[in-house]
Amino acid sequence: MKLSINGETKEMNFATLAQWASAELENAKGIAIAVNESVIPNSKWDRCALKDGDKILVVTATCGG
């Protein structure tokens, strides 16, 4: 299936957001993920089914200013 990750389309085959995050993110601490413009709490990543054409936006919190 094709997923858009931060604006870049990629061919991937993950059933859930948790599977994708586990495989693609080095560290999920300080990460927020939105799927199709809806933020998904990390407690629900395993229940968030991915489908062809989904748009995933990953935002990382950083300290400083």
Q: What is the mean pLDDT of residues 54-65?
A: 88
Q: What is the pTM of this model?
A: 0.89
Residue pLDDT, tens place only, 20-53: 999 999 888 889 999 999 999 999 999 999 999 9
Spatial distance between the Cα atoms of 16 and 42, rounded to a whole number of angstroms: 12
Spatial distance between the Cα atoms of 49 and 55, rounded to a whole number of angstroms: 12
Q: Is it the case that residue 65 has pLDDT exceeding 70?
A: no
Q: Domains of the chain (ranges plus CATH)?
A: 2-60 (3.10.20.30)
Q: Which pLDDT value is given to residue 49?
A: 98
